[in-house]
Structure 1
Amino acid sequence: MGVSQRLKGRFRKFLQRPGTTVDLAPFSKRLPAIDAREEALRELDDEALTAAAQKASDFTEICAIGREAAFRAIEQRPYDVQLLGVMALLSAKVAEMATGEGKTLTATIAAYGHVRLGHGPVHVLTVNDYLARRDAEWMAPIYKLLGLTVGWVTEASTHEERREAYLADVTYVSVSEAGFDYLRDQLVTDVEDRVQRELATAIVDEADSILIDEARVPMVLAGSIATESDPVHDAAGLVRELKAGKDYEVAEDGRSVAFTDAGLKKIEEELGGIDLYADDQVQQLSAVNVALHAHALLRRDVDYIVRNGSVELIDEMRGRVAQRRRWPDGLQAAVEAKEGLSATAEGEVLDTITVQAYIALYKTVCGMTATAVHVGEQLREYFKLEVAVIPSNAENIRDDEPDRIYSAHETRDEALVEEIKIAHEKGRPVLVGTLDVKASELLAKQLAAVGVPSNVLNAKNDAEEARIIAEAGAKGAVTVSTQMAGRGVDIRLGGSAETDRDEVVELGGLYVIGAGRHDSRRVDDQLRGRAGRQGDPGGSVFFVSLEDELVTRHAGDILPASPRMDMDGVVHDDQVDYAVEHAQRVAEGVNHEIHRNTWRYSVVIEQQRVALAERRERLLTSEVAAIMLLERSPEKAKETDEDVLSDAARAIALYHLDRLWVDHLAELSEVREGVHLRALGKLDPLDEFHRAAVPAFQKLLLDVEARTIEAFEEVDLSDGFEPDRAKIVRPSATWTYLVHDNPFGSELDRLIAAVGRRLISGGNN
């Protein structure tokens, strides 16, 4: 079967993915027995309840005691549907629970249950530091009553605070902080310096976001190195003067850009008449190309913001600043140069692991989100996780209107502003979701121009997120937000104090308006889900323009030339409705295939990481290095004091293993970036990558031993062991960051995306 046929089969499978979910009947059967325990547990004093909690060993008792503890500690009695969620988590499933259904409390009882079932310690992995600390402190009284300890970790936590937090039965921590702690633990030279214990159970909050959207994001531990001059800043000055269409051309999909002959000639002349494609100009060519990408493709207030003198990336799925995230391969420096800022150091990559690979290290994984079914196939493929759809406690009475589709941005925006103004004048609270920071700020200005005040929530003021979202349900409130829209924060009708709740209910509840469709239906569904919480009234509608990038990029070729529309520019055409839906499916399919492709390359690296980690653990915790030196360098080993030999052998072997792993990662990065060129020669790029990666790793293992022996024989151990004398000085400083997906992708990713779009289009004709 050819490559195109295999790709076509995958895309069609994605579009026809099964909607099967976990059968809840076995969980539901336990509910009467849980209810039957309530009266007896209510009669116990706190001390007796804690004692009973320590003995619970089955789902029924865990849920019954957890419910009683929650009611006593924070005056919240979990609903039956929350207990179904608990049982799903205890069964290592992903529980789909609607917004406002109490996922935080559900996770707490599940965490207690996993500890009691012998699956501890438990890490509750969140999307950010705020939620990690908030949820740990909020749920702490319940854990105390259940006889468990709880801790939390944030970016500001010290080494000792981290160690103490991870010693707790349950630890709340953002997935990135947990991953960085793992990477740091993998480089310790003394077991006592570790902060984490075994990775036993992970309860993943916002599971679709972490397990799918962020799955391929690499977490990086970097060390300081002496830096050379940065050619990207010089290149940025040159490309700034180039003209689109004349000196360079942007591809239709907006993900790649290339110099024209005229533009290339202009750059070469500016650089002194050089040939950029000469063998000795590789670094200069790379700098010019990356500067052009930053100049032509990356947009301020869409892809990134500039705040406090630095470039901060925006997470396209959530609209938030992507904390401590950088673009790869000099692109970060290019954007900094574009904005006239000094380049921040990249350092040397000491180790890196993707979110997906890190979570795979846990023995048990489960999670919760309001939107899991859409990614059920991917959860099954990458994590062997099934989805359990938990019914709402109260019927959802939100009124979800059909999309209002307009022929152009201008008419769509006019109608959008008018719709918001009408709702505001009635006093009905409105939450508007925009696609990026620039759009949110433009809409706020348009609203102000017609006398409608609004609160703007976007990546520029993300620190105020919880406060702004908490009041988004107040009478007359208009909140303009990017997709961030406060995941994890309830919007109560009438505001946080529910002062005007009855009036807002009479007005129809919170009105959610989407200003354009996102690439992912899940993001749209999350926005809709802000209204209609716990049986509250609410409404939602999306305003779409045929000029929206999603539509033009993925469905431009199937839009009718003259769609049917009314005098106001509102389109009423079934073919257009289909095209918008089709565009989202294509975007999701392309992203899915890029995820799969990226992971296929990562698999061999993760296998090598595991093998190396096992070897490192033996070096760290045993005398295997000293034994090796006794065998390979017996004379010097026997002359050396036994304790000195042990320390020296361990330190030298660990240093060279870590050093060679750094070099190996750098080599594989170069191979990965260049391997797509081999596809042009009709070679399978994945096979070619493996062909380079496997022997390189075998050589690494041999070189570790050879360098360890060589260093041992050269070092003077007469006065004991000193790392400086053995030339094993480690980086003086380390820091962490996440590598943002290259926004325009590698050549191979672009090839797959182009093929995917054609195949999906063909499969739906």
Structure 2
Amino acid sequence: MTTLLARFKQRMRRFAQKPASIDLAPYRAQLDKVEEYSTGLSELSDDELTAKAGELRDREFDDAELCALAREAAERAIGQRPFDVQVLGALGLLDGIVVEMATGEGKTLAGAVAAAGYALHGKRVHVVTVNDFLAQRDAEWMGPLYRLLGVRVGWINQSSKPEERREAYSCEVMYAPVSEIGFDILRDRIATDPADLIVPAPEVALIDEADSVLVDEARVPLVLAGSTTSDHADPVIADLVKRLRHDLHYEVDDEERNVYLTGAGSEAVERALGDIDLYSAEHVASTLSKVNVALHAQVLLHRDVDYIVRDGKVHLINDSRGRIAKLQRWPDGLQAAVEAKESVQTTESGEILDSMTVQALLSRYPTRCGMTGTAVAVAETLREFYELEVLVIPPNKECIRDDEHSRLYTTLEQKEAAIVAEIKEVHEKGRPILVGTLDVAESERIATKLRKAGLECVVLNAKNDAEEAAIIADAGSFERITVSTQMAGRGTDIRLGGHDAADHERISELGGLYVVGTGRHSSSRLDDQLRGRAGRQGDPGGSVFFASLQDDLISQYAPDADEPSAVDDDGLVADKGTLHTFEHAQRVAEGVNLEIHRNTWRYNKLIEHQRDLILQHRDKVLRTDVAFEKLGKGEHEGVSDEVLIHACRVITLFHLDDLWTHHLTYLSDLREGIHLRALARQNPLDEFHREAIPAFNKIVPESWELASDTYASAPITADGYNLADSGVKRPSSTWTYLVHDNPFGSGLEETMKGLVKMVRGRR
């Protein structure tokens, strides 16, 4: 009866489509089976255990049997016997689910058990990580476990050479940053010889920090660019915009997302550039565009917030992780404009050959699963975009962390004064403190104020992220104050008493790690990830967040908040109505971002469908003789079929790729202004499809026509064929990068924020 009731409740939850609707009970029931399968395993030798795992490859097997073998293997290979909660996590992953496991609960080992299980089922697994460090660390850390189970494991990072990549992809389990997998796919898409292909067909993606990868980075495009003779930023214009004055020469919108020249500003620019007419046909598409981009770089992008300058280069900061976003760039000349602003050498720019979003990349895998500490908060998004459900795994030991109510102050200065006072009071007892800040500038400002108050601290931000593992590992030491930007994806647990936990009992008696948040994030998940650094594995701990009515979150998403009616002498807001202001602002921010994600994907779905069709055609050209059959031998006498087949393939692929590149540019330009169609009572998405589809349908026929013309006049000899000899050539160099998401604020985003304002006005 109890089982029937549990099943009924599960079905009702599924019918209601509530977040975290996967019932844990069926997985708990498998723990008894895991114990049954464990009988006698401890008596086997290592070779016998490996052989027993190998037997699974030849038959269908119960995942509980795999978990029993993996539990025994993990204890022998890495000295860690998976807890029941880790086994539950592995079972969920093997069912293609996103499992939520709290920080410090052993997600890495649970993921390795599941990856080994998929491999023994005969499926190739890509364990997708958020950065190079975690890919290499986890692959090497779990390597002995995989080897004892007879599973080959490899990893790649940014430095991996083509042959190293090919070797890693040949393994049954491969760890890699999501960006590197995407870049390899993009490079494969311009290959002209099947032997140059590296990435095998996708099968299973097991995603670490799943909410960060699947949600926060879903819209981020990965880009493959090729060298062109493009214009660099004009240092004269960069210097000119530095002299323009706010409110006189330019205005900034309420949310500081866009900047506009005033009439006086336009006149000042025109005079400075030799009395030109900025809005003439001669200058509107070039000079005016450069001025607008330079102004955006000067006014809206801030050093040590949006980027840092290190080693003579501009490095973007990933705002969801607080670290340098390696290989990431702004598009449309903005990168060069920031470099000109900072007077550093301009990096190479070029034409986008192809791109793909992280969401499109991971949607390629027939089987997807993931693990994170904060999945429930994005359960709706995971279900809508990836058809993934969430399974919440309880902690191995009950969490006893004391999470205090947030403290809201009227001004930024009052908030930061209160933060320093709080840290000083707690520090006097010797309790370790982790201070989580929102950006680099804030981390350095707080650190300076702490030092002025006589409090020494260690700072971890994008400027010294290479030292992060060592800094985080000792953040739980006696009297340690650590000031850090975003903690998501750091990958290193904070152990009470330091990296060796030598002082564990002493720190526990003091109350454990104390987490101080200097502001609420635009996503509640990031708040939860910061809190989760304290109270791991049943340890004591505490957390508190500070906020002010001047914080960006409130100024952007709740600018019309009522003035507080009750304020203490130190600026602390006491009335309950105002205390809910930042929670409301956070919900608005999350809603806006979800709607932008939803609408962006509606546009990208068509582009991805067109990309799939082009790739199917391209793959046929690449792997068969269809180009030779289509173009024919022509006038090339005395040349072998082998040479002609190669020439036909290279020529056809060149024109196909070139037309696709131009189509992407067309779609980008079309998308940029399509939201304006709404003013004419037209549906922008319908209009986008109406224009994008006919343009796409011309690509393949036109590629054959161009290929035929090139082939007819191509200088093909018995020695071979060079594309450049025909007057056309591929870029001399290519490189990859990520486009910083939505740097200018799209028309869609501005529309969404406008709706938010309208709703506020009706309240």
TM-score bracket for the superposition, by shorter chain length: over 0.9
Tell me the matched-pair count.
742
User: Match of 1:348, SS?
Assistant: strand
CA distance in 2 between counterparts of 1:645 and 1:513 reads 68
Q: Is the 8 A contact 2:120 2:151 kept in 1?
A: no
The corresponding residue for 1:8 is none
Q: Is the 8 A contact 1:469 1:486 kept in 2?
A: no
CA distance in 2 between counterparts of 1:628 and 1:121 reads 36
The corresponding residue for 1:95 is 99
Superposition deviation, residue 403 in structure 1? 0.5
Cα gap change, 1:174 to 1:689, in 2 (>3 Å)? same
Mapped pair 1:467 → 2:470:
yes
Q: Is the 8 A contact 1:469 1:485 kept in 2?
A: no
Superposition deviation, residue 709 in structure 1? 1.0
CA distance in 1 between counterparts of 2:728 and 2:366 reads 35
CA distance in 1 between counterparts of 2:84 and 2:691 reads 54
AA of the residue aligned to 1:483: Q
Cα gap change, 1:678 to 1:277, in 2 (>3 Å)? farther
Mapped pair 1:62 → 2:66:
yes
The corresponding residue for 2:667 is 668
After superposition, residues 308-347 of structure 1 pair within 5 angstroms as: 308-347=311-350
AA of the residue aligned to 2:565: P
The corresponding residue for 1:263 is 265
AA of the residue aligned to 1:71: E
State which of 546, 550, 553 in structure 1 corresponds to 2:553.
Answer: 550
Q: TM-score, normalised by structure 2?
A: 0.95
Q: Is the 8 A contact 2:317 2:325 kept in 1?
A: yes
CA distance in 2 between counterparts of 1:87 and 1:562 reads 50
The corresponding residue for 2:7 is none
The corresponding residue for 2:603 is 601
Mapped pair 1:213 → 2:212:
no
The corresponding residue for 2:681 is 682
Q: Is the 8 A contact 1:652 1:726 kept in 2?
A: no
Q: Is the 8 A contact 1:74 1:141 kept in 2?
A: yes
The corresponding residue for 1:754 is 754
Superposition deviation, residue 346 in structure 1? 1.4
Which deviations, in whole Å up to 9, do the C-alpha atoms of 1:700-724 show, x marking residues without a partner?
1111111111111111334343123
Q: Is the 8 A contact 1:152 1:165 kept in 2?
A: yes
- Unpaired segments of 5 or more residues in structure 2? 1-15
Cα gap change, 1:379 to 1:638, in 2 (>3 Å)? farther
The corresponding residue for 2:22 is 22
The corresponding residue for 2:711 is 712
State which of 557, 577, 580 in structure 1 corresponds to 2:579.
Answer: 577
Q: Is the 8 A contact 1:424 1:476 kept in 2?
A: yes
The corresponding residue for 2:731 is 731
Q: Is the 8 A contact 1:320 1:484 kept in 2?
A: no
Superposition deviation, residue 485 in structure 1? 6.0
Q: Is the 8 A contact 1:328 1:742 kept in 2?
A: no
Superposition deviation, residue 156 in structure 1? 0.6
Superposition deviation, residue 46 in structure 1? 0.7
The corresponding residue for 2:372 is 369
Superposition deviation, residue 676 in structure 1? 3.0
The range that moved more, 512-521 or 665-674, is 665-674
Mapped pair 1:86 → 2:86:
no
Q: TM-score, normalised by structure 1?
A: 0.95
CA distance in 2 between counterparts of 1:669 and 1:89 reads 37
Which deviations, in whole Å up to 9, do the C-alpha atoms of 1:267-291 show, x marking residues without a partner?
1111222221222211111111111
Cα gap change, 1:369 to 1:624, in 2 (>3 Å)? same
Which deviations, in whole Å up to 9, do the C-alpha atoms of 1:46-65 show, x marking residues without a partner?
11111111233221111111
CA distance in 1 between counterparts of 2:431 and 2:757 reads 41
Superposition deviation, residue 315 in structure 1? 1.0
CA distance in 1 between counterparts of 2:629 and 2:736 reads 35
AA of the residue aligned to 2:94: L
User: Match of 1:576, SS?
Assistant: helix
AA of the residue aligned to 1:276: L
The range that moved more, 477-486 or 436-445, is 477-486
User: Match of 1:115, SS?
Assistant: helix
User: Match of 1:274, SS?
Assistant: coil
User: Match of 1:125, SS?
Assistant: strand
CA distance in 1 between counterparts of 2:467 and 2:488 reads 12
User: Match of 1:730, SS?
Assistant: coil
AA of the residue aligned to 1:274: I
Mapped pair 1:534 → 2:537:
yes
CA distance in 2 between counterparts of 1:707 and 1:563 reads 72
CA distance in 1 between counterparts of 2:634 and 2:467 reads 67
Which deviations, in whole Å up to 9, do the C-alpha atoms of 1:312-369 show, x marking residues without a partner?
1111111111111011111111111111123211112111111110111111111010
User: Match of 2:39, SS?
Assistant: helix
The corresponding residue for 1:244 is 246
CA distance in 2 between counterparts of 1:568 and 1:227 reads 55
After superposition, residues 390-401 of structure 1 pair within 5 angstroms as: 390-401=393-404
The corresponding residue for 1:50 is 50
CA distance in 1 between counterparts of 2:678 and 2:290 reads 24
Q: Is the 8 A contact 1:589 1:756 kept in 2?
A: no
The corresponding residue for 1:296 is 299
Superposition deviation, residue 40 in structure 1? 1.2
The corresponding residue for 1:703 is 702
The range that moved more, 709-718 or 210-219, is 709-718
The corresponding residue for 1:509 is 512
User: Match of 1:705, SS?
Assistant: helix
Q: Is the 8 A contact 1:427 1:507 kept in 2?
A: yes
CA distance in 1 between counterparts of 2:372 and 2:539 reads 20
Q: Is the 8 A contact 1:466 1:486 kept in 2?
A: no
The range that moved more, 685-694 or 281-290, is 685-694
User: Match of 1:508, SS?
Assistant: coil
User: Match of 2:463, SS?
Assistant: helix
Cα gap change, 1:667 to 1:744, in 2 (>3 Å)? closer
Q: Is the 8 A contact 2:636 2:716 kept in 1?
A: no
CA distance in 2 between counterparts of 1:231 and 1:567 reads 50
Superposition deviation, residue 688 in structure 1? 2.2
CA distance in 1 between counterparts of 2:451 and 2:418 reads 15
Which deviations, in whole Å up to 9, do the C-alpha atoms of 1:649-686 show, x marking residues without a partner?
11111111111111111221222223233333333222
State which of 447, 452, 456 in structure 1 corresponds to 2:450.
Answer: 447
State which of 140, 151, 172 in structure 1 corresponds to 2:154.
Answer: 151
CA distance in 1 between counterparts of 2:537 and 2:64 reads 25
Which deviations, in whole Å up to 9, do the C-alpha atoms of 1:433-488 show, x marking residues without a partner?
01111110011111111111000000111111111000000111000001136631
Q: Is the 8 A contact 1:629 1:637 kept in 2?
A: no
CA distance in 1 between counterparts of 2:625 and 2:257 reads 52
The corresponding residue for 2:81 is 77
Mapped pair 1:383 → 2:386:
yes
Cα gap change, 1:556 to 1:426, in 2 (>3 Å)? same
CA distance in 1 between counterparts of 2:463 and 2:171 reads 35
The range that moved more, 730-739 or 583-592, is 730-739
CA distance in 2 between counterparts of 1:709 and 1:170 reads 44
Q: Is the 8 A contact 1:433 1:485 kept in 2?
A: no
AA of the residue aligned to 2:157: T
Mapped pair 1:128 → 2:127:
no
AA of the residue aligned to 2:251: E
Runs of 4+ residues deviating >6 angstroms = none
CA distance in 1 between counterparts of 2:34 and 2:568 reads 58
CA distance in 1 between counterparts of 2:282 and 2:593 reads 37
The corresponding residue for 1:11 is none
Cα gap change, 1:68 to 1:728, in 2 (>3 Å)? farther
- Unpaired segments of 5 or more residues in structure 1? 1-15
Which deviations, in whole Å up to 9, do the C-alpha atoms of 1:576-628 show, x marking residues without a partner?
12211100000111111111121111111111110011111111111111111
Cα gap change, 1:235 to 1:676, in 2 (>3 Å)? farther
CA distance in 1 between counterparts of 2:514 and 2:520 reads 17
CA distance in 1 between counterparts of 2:127 and 2:366 reads 14
Q: Is the 8 A contact 1:470 1:491 kept in 2?
A: yes
Cα gap change, 1:637 to 1:381, in 2 (>3 Å)? farther
User: Match of 2:93, SS?
Assistant: helix
State which of 617, 626, 629 in structure 2 corresponds to 1:627.
Answer: 629
